[in-house]
Amino acid sequence: MSIRIYRRVCASLVLVGLSVLPAFAQSTQDPRGGIEIGAGATYLTVPKGTSRSMGVGVMAGAFAVVPLTSMYKLQPEIHYEYRQSKVAGSDRKFGYISIPILVRMSLFKGLYIIEGPAVHVPVSAKVAGQDVKDNTQSPDVSIVIGVGKRVGKIGLEGRWDSGIRRVQKTVGTGDVATRHRSISGVIEIPL
Q: At 34, give phi and psi (nearest 5°).
A: 170, -160
CB atoms within 10 A of CB 116: 18
Dihedral angle computed from the Cα positions of residues 163, 164, 165 and 168, in that order, rounded to the nearest 10 degrees: 40
Angstrom distance (rounded) from CA 71 to CA 106 = 5
Burial (CB count within 10 angstroms: exposed 0-12, middle 13-18, buried 19+), residue 152: exposed
Residue spans per domain, the chain: 3-190
Q: Look at residue 21 in the predicted model and tell me its pLDDT.
A: 43
CATH number for the segment(s) 3-190: 2.40.160.20
Task: Render each residue's pLDDT in the chain as its tens digit; 191 residues.
Answer: 555 665 666 555 555 554 544 444 344 456 689 999 999 999 988 888 888 889 999 999 999 999 998 889 999 999 999 999 988 888 989 999 999 999 999 998 889 999 999 999 999 999 888 888 888 878 889 999 999 998 888 999 999 999 998 888 777 777 777 888 999 999 999 98
Question: Could you tell me if residue 8 is left (phi over 0), alpha (psi between -120 and 50 degrees) or otherwise beta?
Answer: alpha
Q: Look at residue 4 in the predicted model and tell me its pLDDT.
A: 66
pTM of the model: 0.77
